[in-house]
């Protein structure tokens, strides 16, 4: 490096330009470095966005065990992938047999996801969190929930009630 | 040649290996002369670190006349946050962030590890007292108008620290992986889902999957022990630097009298408050050891989820929002309050720091604070009693049953003479 160029006092046009160029180059390199580390890490952290739900039919109850007009909660186990591990996760759903057949109601409150309880004496679902109330069909009666309880597809085959559950 | 300040001595001395002191200035007392020729370890270090100057500068930090007890909260926060760092580091030695191990490891910490219940108690109660202290600290700065020029950025950094502390609470709450932790996190993360358009993706991102599970736990753990502490340290460093640079704002009505040095009067007040604050945390940790409820059970329908008490205001707000308007409670109101806090120094344009001279900001602020306070109070009063004394693995029953189990699960080794 010549003496002239390294002298900060040197105000020649050439030196000014050179300093400006080097400054921009350092800036560009720094941005590249930040991108090189932040980009991959963001992609890594955002990996769950790629996850797609998979569904499965599960037999949850003998059809004969559900009387017309009844609401019953049934638990069943599904093998799911939870992070790095395969686990048996228990789920609970409500089954209700009406004139139109069997409906399967998901217990997750549509407000913020607390588990609703069924009150058989009042024929309604009650959410313990913010007091959401749903009727037997899962429609909102009162409280903050914005939509009816979610339903899962149901079929009756071979004397068993099957539901289609996405996980 | 370097100059240093010796503690408790107002004169400047020259201390340099090359130039003996007596050649540069009049000889002073013989004692001092000796000291400078044969520096103590402290002097030796000072020549390299400038330590005396640093200590001296901080002890001499000028306090405007009229500062007092209200100015001790920052020091209390700093100390309690250090405590959290130390207890957290210790807890992490026994903790396992997995759905299989988390609950068992916290149980192990609480009932088997020596002083486990106490150390966990310090961490749990410490977090509560920190939230109280940070609220009081913020309120003090708000009512004193201490955020005004040139201290705007000190305030902004303070608000960021406030957010980081809430982040610590939210992520830390899940780690024991018990029913309370699990359900509070289900509801808390569902809040992200109420945001239009990006809500569903946001949930996936926060939870690491569609449901609260193994990946949620590792995510929260990583945030709690890596990301947030790093953020907090940087922000606290900046905050302290700014506080020192601009000094403390002092009372609203400037009082007569020269500034007083931080040491000894104010430091002594700080020490008293630390004694009480830390004493309170220790008392609570011993008197009210943290409980552990039953392990997280996604199927359980007999559990009423409730968040930590300082999020109860938000929880109550969610109750009164009519269907379809939950975004008002989950994002709009908290968002406006947060933006308002950040923008406070620019919203409040009055030159004077006196509350009477900036009425609208004081009224608005007071209204917001009262609302939050009332909602929180409502939430606390409506907490069902069984959640005030957690039922399943209460501190009273579990230790004895654990003690019966412990020897069996720790065979031979533990019993050898
Ligand atoms: S989660 Fe059910 S009412 Fe809020």
Separation of CA A118 and ligand 1 centre (Å): 14
Q: Is A132 in the pocket of ligand 1 (CB under 6 A)?
A: yes
Residue B268: Cβ within 10 Å count: 11
Cβ within 8 Å, pair B99-A87:
yes
**If residue A160 lies in a helix (H) or strand (E), which one and from where to where?**
strand A160-166
Q: What is the mean predicted confidence (pLDDT) over B181-195?
A: 90
Residues 6+ apart with CB under 8 A from A150: A105, A106, A108, A110, A138
Residues 6+ apart with CB under 8 A from B237: none
Residue B339: Cβ within 10 Å count: 11
Q: Is A148 in the pocket of ligand 1 (CB under 6 A)?
A: no
Burial class of residue B64 in the structure, from the number of CB atoms within 10 Å of its CB (0-12 exposed, 13-18 middle, 19+ buried): middle
CA dihedral B126, B127, B132, B135 (to 10 degrees): 130
Segment A54-83, tens digit of pLDDT: 888 999 999 888 888 889 989 999 988 888
Q: What is the pLDDT of residue B260?
A: 87
Integer Cα distance of B274 and B37 in angstroms: 40
Least confident of A55-59, B165-169, B353-357: B353-357
Q: What is the pLDDT of residue B385?
A: 56
The minimum CA-CA distance between A50 and chain B, rounded to whole Å, is 9
Cβ within 8 Å, pair A83-B211:
no
Region at A117 (left for phi over 0; alpha for psi -120 to 50; beta for the rest): beta
Residue B29 has pLDDT above 60, yes or no: yes
**Which 3 state secondary structure label does DSSP give B124?**
helix
Separation of CA B141 and ligand 1 centre (Å): 36
Q: Contact at 8 Å (CB) between A167 and A66?
A: no
B47 touching A (Cβ < 8 Å)? no
Residue A116 has pLDDT above 80, yes or no: yes
Segment B230-279, tens digit of pLDDT: 999 999 999 999 999 999 888 888 888 888 889 998 999 999 999 999 99
Q: Contact at 8 Å (CB) between B110 and B117?
A: yes
**pLDDT-above-70 percentage for chain B:** 84
Residue B270, φ and ψ in degrees, nearest 5: -55, -45
Q: For CA atoms B181, A106, B207, B209, give the dihedral sign.
A: positive
B193 or B102, higher pLDDT: B102
Q: Contact at 8 Å (CB) between B127 and B169?
A: yes
Nearest residue to B294 via CA among B185, B398, B387, B179: B179
Segment B291-321, tens digit of pLDDT: 999 999 887 666 777 888 888 898 888 888 8
Q: What is the pLDDT of residue B308?
A: 85
Separation of CA B45 and ligand 1 centre (Å): 62
B399 touching A (Cβ < 8 Å)? no
The minimum CA-CA distance between A76 and chain B, rounded to whole Å, is 10
Q: What is the DSSP string of A91-125?
A: EEEEEEEETTEEEEE--B-TTT-PBPEEETTTTEE
Integer Cα distance of B225 and B171 in angstroms: 10
Q: How far is CA B192 from CA B71, B205, B220, in A?
A: 37, 10, 15
B101 touching A (Cβ < 8 Å)? no
Residue B388 has pLDDT above 60, yes or no: no
């Amino acid at each position: 490096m010549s003496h002239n160029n390294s002298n900060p006092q040197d105000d020649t046009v050439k030196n000014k330009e050179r300093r400006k160029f080097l400054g921009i180059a350092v800036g560009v390199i720094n941005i590249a470095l930040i991108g090189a580390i932040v980009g991959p890490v963001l992609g890594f952290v955002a990996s769950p966005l790629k996850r797609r739900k998979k569904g499965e039919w599960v037999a949850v109850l003998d059809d004969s065990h559900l009387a017309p007009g009844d609401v019953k909660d049934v638990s069943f186990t599904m093998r799911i992938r939870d992070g790095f591990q395969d686990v048996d996760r228990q789920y609970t759903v409500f089954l209700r047999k009406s004139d139109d057949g069997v409906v399967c109601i998901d217990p997750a409150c549509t407000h913020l996801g607390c588990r609703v309880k069924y009150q058989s004496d009042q024929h309604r679902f009650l959410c313990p969190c913010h007091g959401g109330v749903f009727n037997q069909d899962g429609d909102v009666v009162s409280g903050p929930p914005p939509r009816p309880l979610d339903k899962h597809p149901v079929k009756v085959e071979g004397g068993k009630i099957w539901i289609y559950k996405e996980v | 040649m370097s100059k240093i300040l010796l503690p408790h001595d107002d004169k400047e001395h020259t201390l340099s290996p090359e130039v003996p002191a007596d050649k540069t200035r009049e000889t002073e007392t013989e004692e001092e002369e000796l000291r400078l020729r044969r520096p103590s370890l402290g002097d030796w270090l000072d020549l390299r670190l400038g330590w005396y100057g640093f200590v001296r500068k901080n002890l001499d930090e000028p306090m405007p006349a009229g500062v007092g007890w209200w100015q001790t909260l920052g020091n209390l926060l700093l100390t309690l946050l250090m405590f959290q760092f130390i207890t957290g580091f210790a807890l992490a030695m026994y903790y396992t962030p997995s759905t299989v191990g988390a609950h068992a490891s916290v149980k192990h910490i609480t009932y088997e590890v020596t002083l486990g219940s106490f150390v966990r108690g310090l961490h749990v109660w410490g977090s509560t007292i920190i939230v109280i202290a940070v609220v009081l600290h913020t309120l003090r700065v708000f009512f004193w108008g201490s955020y005004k020029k040139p201290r705007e950025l000190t305030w902004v950094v303070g608000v960021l620290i406030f957010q980081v502390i809430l982040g610590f609470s939210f992520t830390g709450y899940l780690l024991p992986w018990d029913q309370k932790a699990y359900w509070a996190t289900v509801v808390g993360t569902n809040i992200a889902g109420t945001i239009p358009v990006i809500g569903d993706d946001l949930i996936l991102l926060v939870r690491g999957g569609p449901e609260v599970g193994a990946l949620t736990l590792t995510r929260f753990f990583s945030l709690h022990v890596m990301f947030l502490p790093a953020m907090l340290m940087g922000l606290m460093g900046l905050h302290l630097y700014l506080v020192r640079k601009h000094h403390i704002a002092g009372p609203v009505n400037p009082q007569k009298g020269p500034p007083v040095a931080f040491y000894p009067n104010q430091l002594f007040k700080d020490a008293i408050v630390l004694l009480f604050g830390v004493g309170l945390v220790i008392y609570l940790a011993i008197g009210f050891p943290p409980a552990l409820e039953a392990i997280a059970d996604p199927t359980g329908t007999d559990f009423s989820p409730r968040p930590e008490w300082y999020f109860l205001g938000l929880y109550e707000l969610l109750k009164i929002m009519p269907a379809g308007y939950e975004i008002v409670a989950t994002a709009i109101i908290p968002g406006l309050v947060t933006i308002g806090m950040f923008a406070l120094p620019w919203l409040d344009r009055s030159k004077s720091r006196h509350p009477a001279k900036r009425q609208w900001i004081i009224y608005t602020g007071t209204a917001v604070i009262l609302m939050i306070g009332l909602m929180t109070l409502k939430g606390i009063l409506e907490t069902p009693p069984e959640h005030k004394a957690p039922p399943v693995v209460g501190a009273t029953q579990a230790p004895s049953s654990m003690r019966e189990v412990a020897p069996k699960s720790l065979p031979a080794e533990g019993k050898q003479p």
